[in-house]
């Protein structure tokens, strides 16, 4: 019991004091009427490190070998539209998705790019100078159900990396808009185990914290309070008592406990998503937005930059000492990514959630067109391919195009802020709104960008 309690304390408190978000949102929602678009939600699958356009949604089978890379292209449901051979399931649901092959920006740095794509602004990274999209959604929308957090992050235990902070952090909005974080052990090789129970061991948030185990509520709250104060010597976690009460309530009772309970899903649905962490996290994301969470980010780590394949696209193993984290190439990541995306797209449409829930699959940038001398690809902000589905969008189309070597957009360049504008439109958030930073200055929701016309239903 001591070990389980300690894991709960560490996981919950390091989650960004999400309980404050819950308690503040409850108070704010009680004083305000719902706004337009409140029955909408977003699932963001974040491919941290920057996925390759060649090895996902924009292969170049006719390019020279040093550009096209080690994998073949396969046909999708659309004539003339190919995917990488490692995404066969996703290729069969592309009629329910929109692929954008012409996303471009001007930085090749992980931190700046991650911050830019999440906030809409280039800026300081540590701490982030602007709030992430999830924090902004928490601020402007809150949860659809007062018993649930507005913003959930499904991630791994190492959430303090600057890239993760840039993509999922609160900036000047403060800890009341931090995500409620469900963490997973990044070193558990669940992909190889083939056992759902092992793959989701740490996702069953409420299992170790049963009502029987929190009978000594006052003692547990004291432990939480002491842990939080030790973890934050700068006293930025004022109001932690509201956090501990709300967080404890959330994982032990009510709608949230039901939403987090994957065991209530039929086995055929569990199997659809796959016996691996990413698949079961995607299923959890669907359950959360279906229950009333507004914004869910699924971080595909086991380490913060797991798509950062400089060494070898096929099998990008890190040094034996583990100094750079456990990263693997497409042979390892391709099949679970393919199953996760295809299952989520299929499930959202079969459940009639395709108008309510917008799915966005992207990372901070693409990869270099020419394969490097070690068989990898390096950072490339000049071109990226992404996938969107649901959201009431016009799906079944490819927007934009890249040149023959996958270097630059050749048609319809689209900036990441256009994607963010499309997302905020779906959520009913007025693009003309602004937040107030720590200096009292109004900051526009986005500095530029507009919803992508091709995706908007007439």
Q: What is the CATH number of the domain that holds 353?
A: 3.40.720.10
Distance separating alpha carbons of residues 80 and 64, to the nearest angstrom: 19
Residues whose CB falls within 8 Å of the CB of residue 256, separated by 6 or more in sequence, listed in order: 147, 148, 149, 250, 291
Distance separating alpha carbons of residues 21 and 140, to the nearest angstrom: 12
Give Cα separations from 183 to 61, 345, 418 (angstroms).
39, 23, 30
Closest by alpha carbon to 293, among 150, 141, 140, 133?
150
Note the pLDDT of residue 222: 52
Note the pLDDT of residue 5: 38
Note the pLDDT of residue 287: 94
User: 434: domain range?
Assistant: 34-204+261-455
Residue 315 pLDDT level (bands cut at 50, 70, 90): confident
Residues whose CB falls within 8 Å of the CB of residue 199, separated by 6 or more in sequence, listed in order: 188, 190, 191, 193, 275, 276, 277, 279, 280
Across 73-92, average pLDDT? 97
Whether 82 is covered by a domain: the verdict is yes
Note the pLDDT of residue 122: 86
**Could you give phi then psi for residue 158, rounded to 5 degrees?**
-95, 70
Whether 9 is covered by a domain: the verdict is no
Across 178-199, average pLDDT? 53
Whether 314 is covered by a domain: the verdict is yes
Q: Report percent pLDDT > 90 for the chain.
A: 54
Closest by alpha carbon to 134, among 117, 147, 122, 146?
117
Whether 67 is covered by a domain: the verdict is yes
Whether 199 contacts 275, CB under 8 Å: yes
- Span 110-125, pLDDT tens digits: 889 999 999 999 876 6
Whether 211 is covered by a domain: the verdict is no
Residue 241 pLDDT level (bands cut at 50, 70, 90): very low
Across 352-363, average pLDDT? 97
Note the pLDDT of residue 44: 98
Distance separating alpha carbons of residues 166 and 418, to the nearest angstrom: 19
Residue 378 pLDDT level (bands cut at 50, 70, 90): very high
Residue 430 pLDDT level (bands cut at 50, 70, 90): very high
Across 420-429, average pLDDT? 97
Closest by alpha carbon to 135, among 443, 365, 384?
443
Q: Is 375 exposed, middle or buried (0-12, 13-18, 19+ CB in 10 A)?
A: middle
Task: DSSP for 26-79, please give it.
Answer: HHHHHTSPPPTTTT-EEEEEE-TT---STTTT---TTS-HHHH-SS-EEE-SST
Closest by alpha carbon to 423, among 156, 22, 120, 77?
120
Domain count, the chain: 1
Whether 271 is covered by a domain: the verdict is yes
Give yes or no for residue 185 having a pLDDT over 90.
Answer: no
Whether 233 is covered by a domain: the verdict is no
pLDDT higher for 377 or 226?
A: 377
Note the pLDDT of residue 154: 87
Mean of per-residue pLDDT scores for the chain: 79
Residue 198 pLDDT level (bands cut at 50, 70, 90): very low
Across 280-298, average pLDDT? 93
Give yes or no for residue 155 having a pLDDT over 90.
Answer: no
Across 367-383, average pLDDT? 97
Buried b (16+ CB within 10 A) or exposed e, 353-370: bbbbbbbbbbbbbbbbbb
Across 9-34, average pLDDT? 36
Whether 217 is covered by a domain: the verdict is no
Note the pLDDT of residue 259: 81
Instruction: Tell if the pTM clears 0.75, that is, is over it.
Output: yes
């Amino acid at each position: 019991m001591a070990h389980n309690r300690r894991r709960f304390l560490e996981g919950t408190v390091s989650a960004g004091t999400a309980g404050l978000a819950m308690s503040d949102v409850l108070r704010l929602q009680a004083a305000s009427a719902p706004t337009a678009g409140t029955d909408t939600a977003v699932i963001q699958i974040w491919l941290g490190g920057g996925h390759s356009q060649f090895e996902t949604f924009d292969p170049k089978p006719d390019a020279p070998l040093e550009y096209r890379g080690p994998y073949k292209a396969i046909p999708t449901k659309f004539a003339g539209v190919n995917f990488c051979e490692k995404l066969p399931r996703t290729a069969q649901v592309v009629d329910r998705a929109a692929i954008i092959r012409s996303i471009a920006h001007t930085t090749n740095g992980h931190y700046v790019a991650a911050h830019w794509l999440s906030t809409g602004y280039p800026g300081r990274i540590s701490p982030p100078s602007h709030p992430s999209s999830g924090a902004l959604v928490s601020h402007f929308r809150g949860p659809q159900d007062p018993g649930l957090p507005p913003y959930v992050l499904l991630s791994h235990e190492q959430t303090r990396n600057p890239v993760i902070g840039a993509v999922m952090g609160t900036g000047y909005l403060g800890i009341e808009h931090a995500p409620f974080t469900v963490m997973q052990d990044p070193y558990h090789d669940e992909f190889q185990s083939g056992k759902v129970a092992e793959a989701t061991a740490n996702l069953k948030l409420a299992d170790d914290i049963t009502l029987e185990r929190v009978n000594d509520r006052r003692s547990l709250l004291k432990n939480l309070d002491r842990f939080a104060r030790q973890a934050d010597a700068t006293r930025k976690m004022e109001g932690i008592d509201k956090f501990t009460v709300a967080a404890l309530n959330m994982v032990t009772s009510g709608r949230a406990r039901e939403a987090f309970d994957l065991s209530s899903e039929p086995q055929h649905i569990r199997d659809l998503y796959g016996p691996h962490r990413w698949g079961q996290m995607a299923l959890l994301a669907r359950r959360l937005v279906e229950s009333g969470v507004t914004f869910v980010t699924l971080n595909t780590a086991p380490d913060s930059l797991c798509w950062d394949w400089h060494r070898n696209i096929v099998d990008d193993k890190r040094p034996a000492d583990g100094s750079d984290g456990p990263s693997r190439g497409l042979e390892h990541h391709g099949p679970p990514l393919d199953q996760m995306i295809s299952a989520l797209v299929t499930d959202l449409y079969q459940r009639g959630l395709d108008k309510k829930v917008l799915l966005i699959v992207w990372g901070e940038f693409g990869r270099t067109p020419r394969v490097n001398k070690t068989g990898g690809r390096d950072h490339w902000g000049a071109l990226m391919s992404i996938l969107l589905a649901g959201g009431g969008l016009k799906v079944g189309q490819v927007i934009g195009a890249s040149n023959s070597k996958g270097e630059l957009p050749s048609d319809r360049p689209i900036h990441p802020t256009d994607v963010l504008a499309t997302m905020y439109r779906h959520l009913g958030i007025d693009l003309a709104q602004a937040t107030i930073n720590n200096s009292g200055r109004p900051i526009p929701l986005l500095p530029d960008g507009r919803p992508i016309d091709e995706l908007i239903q007439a």
